[in-house]
Amino acid sequence: MSKKAYPYVLIMPSVLFLLAFFVYPFLQVFAQAFTHSEGGLTIAHFETIFYDFNFLPSLKNTLLLALVVVPAQLCLAIGMALMISKMEKGRDTVLYVWTIPLGISDLAAGIIWLGLLDQNGFINSFLFHVGIIDEAQSWLNYQNPWAIFAAIVFAEIWRATAILLVILVSGIGLIPKEYYEAAEIFGANAWVRLWKVTLPLLRPSLQTALILRTLLAFEVFAVVMILGGSNMPVLMGEAYNWAFSYRDAGAAAAYAVVILVLSLLFTLFYLRVLRVPKEAQI
């Protein structure tokens, strides 16, 4: 086998896998979104979802959740990654503990948080037994949309900050320590070193982490479903409803395309904003 072909052969299995199980089904969905049930091109499915009363709230909720959750997670993850990188002992242990929520499915995560926040949940019973409240409170109902929102934000931050964390920890590990020492010698304190050295040199990792996390934020579903139910419509939940409750695969496909377009826009945004010119890379 020629040396030139070697890398392509090595990535072939994963490419085939992606083509078969991601690209092909997606093309199908894409086609479905623009195809009339009797055949022929149409934008009727998009009209269906755009005129649906849940479309704008679900779009708003999804964007708002992403807007709150992703920056909060980013700040947390940067802080956690910096702390971990400074540790000399027990670093792996802490990293493993912090990544445990990643191993739990988002459905299970939603159930855990419901168990905590529910009217019969741990927090209610705790507050009741300590005597802070006189009777169990129902926080997660349609009268408290902000409580639901906050609960989802908490659950999402708890569940998925570690995705950013692991990417940033490995990115920080790639920055040679001489840069920090040089910055220190030439007068930069810890705060300035973070802004003038760490973050600029971390741009490639920040880019990867943000793209990944934002795309996942647009697909937020199970946690919202459990904690908010129909009180908190999101795009992915609507896609699910159209597919399985209303039995309209075309409209569900249209939702999938909307999510894809959003994802593409944000990916392009990150690629542009956090671009590192080739000559300025480490």
Partner 1 sequence: MTTITIENIKKSFGDADILKSVTLDIKDQEFTVLLGPSGCGKSTLLRIIAGLETQDSGVIKIGERDVSALPPRDRNVAMVFQNYAVFPHLTVFENIAFGLRMKKVSDDKIKHNVERTAELMHIEHLLSRYSGQLSGGQRQRVAVARALAVEPDVLLMDEPLSNLDALLRLQMRSELKNVLEESKTTTVYVTHDQVEAMSLADRIAVMNEGRIDQYDNPDEIYRNPATEYVGGFIGNPPMNFLTSPHWSNSAPDGAQKLGIRPEDFLVSMEDQVGYLPVQIQTIEKLGSHQQLTSELEGQGLRINIASELPVQQGGILFLQPKPEKMRWYDVRGEII
Stretch binding partner 1 (CB under 8 A), from 129-137, 158-166, 184-192, 242-250: 184-192
**Binding residue (CB under 8 A) for partner 1 from 128, 184, 212, 267:** 184
Stretch binding partner 1 (CB under 8 A), from 42-50, 102-110, 200-208, 216-224: 200-208
- Does 176 bind partner 1 (CB under 8 A)? Our answer is yes
Please, are residues 156 and 65 in contact by the beta-carbon 8 Å criterion?
Answer: yes
**Binding residue (CB under 8 A) for partner 1 from 29, 74, 183, 226:** 183
Stretch binding partner 1 (CB under 8 A), from 70-78, 165-173, 224-232, 273-281: 273-281
What are the structure tokens assigned to 175, written together? 């920055």
CB 197, min distance to partner 1, A: 7
**Binding residue (CB under 8 A) for partner 1 from 8, 146, 186, 191:** 186
Please, are residues 59 and 280 in contact by the beta-carbon 8 Å criterion?
Answer: no
What is the spatial distance between Cα 227 and Cα 141, in angstroms, rounded to a whole number? 9
Binding mask 201-220 for partner 1 (x = CB under 8 A): x-x-----------------
Q: At what angle do helices 203-218 and 145-173 cross, to 10 degrees?
A: 150
- Does 146 bind partner 1 (CB under 8 A)? Our answer is no
- Does 192 bind partner 1 (CB under 8 A)? Our answer is yes
Binding mask 218-257 for partner 1 (x = CB under 8 A): ----------------------------------------
What are the structure tokens assigned to 151, written together? 């609960």
What is the spatial distance between Cα 142 and Cα 139, in angstroms, rounded to a whole number? 9
The distance in angstroms from the start CA to the end CA of the chain is 33
191 contacts: CB under 8 Å, gap ≥ 6:
none
- Does 276 bind partner 1 (CB under 8 A)? Our answer is yes
- Does 273 bind partner 1 (CB under 8 A)? Our answer is no
**Binding residue (CB under 8 A) for partner 1 from 188, 215, 249, 260:** 188
Q: Which residue has the tokens 């009180």?
A: 231
CB 275, min distance to partner 1, A: 12
CA dihedral 208, 213, 218, 219 (to 10 degrees): 110
CB 181, min distance to partner 1, A: 5
Apex 51 CA angle, 49 and 54, nearest 5? 70
What is the spatial distance between Cα 161 and Cα 165, in angstroms, rounded to a whole number? 6
**Binding residue (CB under 8 A) for partner 1 from 4, 178, 191, 272:** 178
What is the spatial distance between Cα 31 and Cα 124, in angstroms, rounded to a whole number? 48
Stretch binding partner 1 (CB under 8 A), from 2-10, 116-124, 178-186, 210-218: 178-186
- Does 88 bind partner 1 (CB under 8 A)? Our answer is no
Cα distances from 207 to residues 96, 168, 199, in angstroms, run: 23, 10, 11
CB 88, min distance to partner 1, A: 12
Q: Which residue has the tokens 């990188």?
A: 85
Binding site for partner 1 (CB under 8 A): 176, 178-179, 181-189, 192, 197, 200-201, 203, 276-282
